[in-house]
A and B are shown apart, each in its own frame.
Chain A
Amino acid sequence: MSIKISKEKCIRCGICIDECPTGAICYGENNITQLIDKDCNDCGLCIPVCVAEAISQ
């Protein structure tokens, strides 16, 4: 999958988690955001809602 979340830029607010239509983003250990590849449809809805510009395609 081409969507990537930058660990350096991500502030872990979870806006992308709420926005993802398939729930493909979740919190892992220490509330680090993780993308679950198998559930990602590559729609890119997560990208424009990120306040920290941490998501890219």
Chain B
Amino acid sequence: MSEKYNVIVVGAGPAGLMASVRAAEKGLKVLAVEKKSNVCEQLKTTGNSFRIKNPINGEFVTVETGKDKKARVHFHNSNFDIEYSGKLIPNYDSYSFSNSGYCMRSTRKDRPLTCIYNVETLFEDLKERAERAGASFMPGAYAMTAENTKTGVKLQVKKEGKASWLEADRVISADGLNSRLAETVGLNKDRPLMIRGPVCETAFEGVEFPYPPGMAFVLGKDMLGGRGFLFVYPHAAGENAYAVMVNTRFPATEPLRITEHFTKKSKFAPWFKHAKPIHRTATVVTVRQPAVIPYVGNVLFIGDAAAYGETLVPGAIQCGYHAGDAVYKELSGEKGFEEYKDYWVSNFEFINNPQKQKDYTKILRLYGGLPDDELDFLFKLAEERGTIEQKGEMNAFNEYSGGDALLDLFMSFPEVKGDLLNKLKEIKGADQHFNK
């Protein structure tokens, strides 16, 4: 006896959980399949912050704490809410450190820049909401491939080595950055691979971070003991908990080797003198060209599975919400997948927009391209000028716009001239017209 579902959602990360919530709340019969047996345990490195009023991917969020101590995260343009019942850490500051420890600091006084949440609690809240709306979950089930039929989809899942087939009218594939279905169903056919790199995150308890809590980005060969990007940020799963996250090149052992060096040998090792590791996650960042048409027949790909790199957690939740609607429309005889495609292409920054993809890499080229002593020089000038206070209604500093803002800041210093200035101009964009 096999059950037939209206929609099977593959993957119970933020995109899949939100899709399950939305589809179930629209009255559809939903099955969510997830390869983990403990569905909400966080094992992959995942974003853990909501950036307040920071427009990205055509959307921005606000966070309000209600009388019942639950937080309500409001997605403004899509006009929907999610509830979050866990620990929330507001951050009013953010930091960048160069190799010798010079600090560029950004702050906001009237509201937090970001709010840190507990990832597992966020997942649990969404899962409970999906179940309350009637969605079923199948844990320990790994979706391997799908076959489109005239009216629906047949989905093959593997549970502890045994394969079986499930049936649904539609499938939403939300299986992430290294999506199995994107390979086997053919979404990756015209998506060249751009770059891959290992990431490892270690959460420590008992960290003595000598500043008000906020995300710290750390650069430099002496700081890291290697090449890569290192982040230190508050973590909601412990007391005085901060995570160290390293994104670097292969071999895969590099992120942990760099973490060891940073926490035991670098200038900032004293922060970790009494720290104990409490949680570890990892992933491989795989960046492919995005899927402009994010569906193959009756299988819709959402979130990181179809993205240029990542959609970030709020972006994944946006995708899930609109995907739930898309399947509902499909089953009402409308072209829901096409409407989803229009939403995807017009809102997600990196689709169909080579300039945005270039903008995304500006920070990488600035921080990865300039030698440590030149970055020390720039950061020292910024530090001398004091903390940057953010005041606008919207915070515009993120991966896509941050590169330009930083380059403009550095180029505005009269001490920056000659070869260094030319390097900065080149990174800003040789094909762009500007005056200095």
Contact = CB atoms under 8 A, between A and B. Distances in A.
Contact of B282 (A19, A26, A28, A51): A51
A52 B201 CA distance: 12
A11 B199 CA distance: 13
Given A28-B37, A31-B36, A50 B160 contact: no
B85 interface: no
Interface residues of A, number: 25
A52 B422 CA distance: 42
A48 B252 CA distance: 6
Interface string A30-57: 1100101011000000001111110000
Contacts of B281: 11, 13
Contact of B160 (A15, A31, A36, A48): A36
A27 to B, nearest CB: 5
B140, B178, B252, B256 pick with most chain A CB within 10 angstroms: B252
B282 A15 contact: yes
Interface residues of B, number: 30
Contacts of B251: 48
B200 A31 contact: no
A51 to B, nearest CB: 5
Interface string B276-299: 000011111000000000000000
Contacts, number: 78
B149 interface: no
B284 A18 contact: yes
Contacts of B280: 11, 13
Contact of B38 (A18, A30, A34, A39): A30
A39 B180 CA distance: 16
The majority secondary structure among interface residues of chain A is mixed
Nearest to A21: B183
A15 B180 CA distance: 12
B43 A14 contact: yes
B413 interface: no
A57 to B, nearest CB: 15
Interface in B99-116: none
A23 B37 contact: no
Interface in B265-318: 280-284
A26 B34 CA distance: 11
Contacts of A19: 178, 284
A3 interface: no
Nearest to A52: B256
Contact of B43 (A13, A36, A49, A50): A13
A39 B37 CA distance: 20
A29 B44 CA distance: 17
A11, A19, A34, A39 pick with most chain B CB within 10 angstroms: A11
Contacts of A29: 37
A38 B37 contact: no
Contacts of B38: 30-31
A19, A26, A34 pick with most chain B CB within 10 angstroms: A26
14 contacts: A11-B281, A13-B45, A13-B283, A14-B43, A14-B44, A15-B198, A15-B284, A17-B142, A30-B38, A34-B160, A48-B251, A51-B200, A51-B255, A51-B282
